Amino acid sequence: MTITTVFADSCMPANWTEADWQEASKVRQLRWRGDRMTLAEAAKAFSEFTDGYNEFNYTLLEKLDAAFPGEIEITPARESSVAVYLHIPDNLKERVEHFVAEHFSADEVDFEDGLLRIWWD
């Protein structure tokens, strides 16, 4: 399943109709965890959200990748809203957590099973 399918209700055209909404609501997934990927791959996939989603915007992933090039991988998720799980080398966990707290405007940031979980509502 692709990110654009999971978030079909968020990837609709600006001039969406009730029929568009009905179709999107049939395929969207409110609870989902995707496959592990690079930050660049995730940013590209999330770029389908033309206006972002709540405080989330794909450019946050690009900034994180620029700050820690090739060091972090991500598992995208949807927990009603956008969530991501960062796979971070142990020696970078504190620095990445600080970067996220400073730049991401997320509603929840915490470690879960060794991964940094970030969620926007």
pLDDT tens track for 44-99:
998 877 566 678 889 999 999 999 999 999 999 999 999 999 999 999 999 999 99
Alpha carbons 18 and 98: distance in angstroms, whole number: 42
Amino acid at 119: W
pLDDT at 51: 64
pLDDT value at position 50?
58
Q: Helices 58-67 and 39-46, interaxial angle, to 10°?
A: 160
DSSP conformation class of 18: H
Q: What percent of the chain has pLDDT over 70?
A: 94
Question: What's the pLDDT at 79?
Answer: 96
Q: Are 76 and 46 in contact (CB under 8 A)?
A: yes
109: pLDDT strictly greater than 90: yes
What are the tens digits of pLDDT across the range 23-48?
A: 877 888 889 999 999 999 999 998 87
Return d(Cα 42, Cα 27) in angstroms, integer.
20
